[in-house]
Chains A and B, each alone.
Chain A
Amino acid sequence: LALYFQSGEREEKCIIEDVPSDTLVIGNYKVQRWDIHKQEFLESAPGLGMFVTVTTPDGEVLLSKLYGPQGTFSFTSYLSGEHAICFQSNSTRLVAFAGSKLRIHLDIRVGEHFLDESVVQAKDKVNEVNIRLEHLIEQIHHISKEQNYEREREEKFRKTSEETNSNILWWAVVQTGILISIGIWQIKSLRDFFISKKLV
């Protein structure tokens, strides 16, 4: 696991994944805790776990589980949109502990299934090609799903732009109408006022 970032002990860090519906998302993580005495990150801290929470675009919780210091989680989205994958350690120590931090290694894969290489190599040549072709077909289906989702988003975007355009036009007309009618009202009101005060 290559990439890592720092996090406070009780801090929640979230990653956003914008995925189409029916997409499998697999995540791999490893967490290490800073040891004050040894002044380095422990390879495996006993009892350290990670709460992984996945939220759908509607705010519904799709996955909420406690994993160990190292783990793999996966979920399949049933809605299209921005899913939030949040990590929080189960550390119950008080936040006042100065210098305590966590290092979280993370790797997230979207739309891919594990290709079991050992199965591929065990069979003969024809089946190897078969399996790779199946994997390819699966990936192409994912591309197609992503493109459909992109089309949906672009449509929403276009609707927003057109709505803005017609909003501006409508408000301009309404405001001109208000301006004219208020102007007329002002003049009328003042004229009546001056007449009643016998100044005109």
Chain B
Amino acid sequence: AVLLALLALRAGGTELTFELPDSAKQCFHQELERGLKFTLDYQVITGGHYDVDCYVEDPNGRTIYKETKKQYDSFPHHTEVKGVYTFCFSNEFSTFSHKTVYFDFQVGDEPPILPDMSNRVTALTQMESACVTIHEALNTVIDSQTHYRLREAQDRSRAEDLNGRVSYWSVGETLILFVVSIGQVMLLKSFFTEKRPGSSRAGT
């Protein structure tokens, strides 16, 4: 447990990517203290119209956030009650497209990188302040990378869908073209073809 707490160079939190099948709902729960700040970021990466329903409930069952068919959103909140908070993603409105959803649940404020930075009497040494700067810069890099990674994944997914659809449409339309045009000629020919033998010669 100590190891895990120290691993969190960022504030405590979890980010996960999972697949949400059609007409399914997936819930996640976390036990939180009172007076904590948490942020839930989520984004739909692949599937259908790239949207999902999401709602967050506090330990008393009250819905503190509810959105339908959102592509991405960020929800910050200060906890007022201690207990288990629940957030759920629902794909129940979709009958055939399963979605890949990414979410990032960050809890609490960033712990200071130097153990006793807040109750320091002397100023920070150059080394220490350089470390603090690097730490903050790296956090910005993480946020930036995550943002671009998700955007790229989503756009690539759309491009691949588009490519597939163009191929199917082209093949389909060519087939329809052939069928319709040959069919038209056959049909017209059949109008002028008499079924009774011999009468087709009587043209005059």
Contact = CB atoms under 8 A, between A and B. Distances in A.
B81 interface: no
Contacts of B123: none
A3 B28 contact: yes
Interface string B70-95: 00000000000000000000000000
Helix, strand, loop or mixed for chain A's interface? helix
A3 B29 contact: yes
Given A18-B149, A182-B178, A129 B127 contact: yes
B7 A109 contact: yes
Interface residues of A, number: 57
B177 interface: yes
A124 interface: no
A154 B127 CA distance: 37
Nearest to B3: A114
A38 interface: no
Contact of A160 (B9, B127, B156): B156
B18 interface: yes
Contacts of B178: 178, 182
A186 B28 contact: no
A74 to B, nearest CB: 13
Contact of B148 (A107, A140, A150): A150
Contact of A193 (B160, B184, B189): B189
B170 A167 contact: yes
Which of B17, B134, B167, B200 gathers most chain A CB within 10 Å? B17
A23 B125 CA distance: 34
A197 B153 CA distance: 63
A164 B163 contact: yes
Q: How large is the interface on B (under 10, 10 to 19, 20 to 34, 35 or more residues)?
A: 35 or more
Helix, strand, loop or mixed for chain B's interface? helix
Contact of B29 (A4, A146, A167, A168): A4
Contacts of A153: 152-153, 156
Nearest to A183: B181
A75 B167 CA distance: 38
Given A146-B145, A160-B156, A167-B166, A190 B188 contact: yes
A137 B30 CA distance: 33
A199 B14 contact: no
A2 interface: yes
Interface stretch (A9-17, A48-56, A58-66, A89-97): A9-17
B107 interface: yes
A16 B17 contact: yes
Contact of B105 (A3, A147, A194): A3
B18 A193 contact: no
A163 B159 CA distance: 10
Contacts of B127: 129
Contacts of B18: 13-16
B30 A115 contact: no
Interface string B147-179: 011001101100110110011001001100110
Contacts of B16: 3, 15, 106, 108
Contacts of A179: 177
A117 B156 contact: no
B138 A139 contact: yes
Contact of B203 (A129, A139, A167, A198): A198
Nearest to A112: B7
8 contacts: A3-B16, A5-B26, A14-B18, A150-B149, A153-B152, A157-B155, A157-B156, A178-B177
Given A178-B177, A186-B184, 8 more contacts: A4-B28, A15-B17, A107-B14, A136-B138, A153-B156, A174-B174, A182-B181, A194-B192
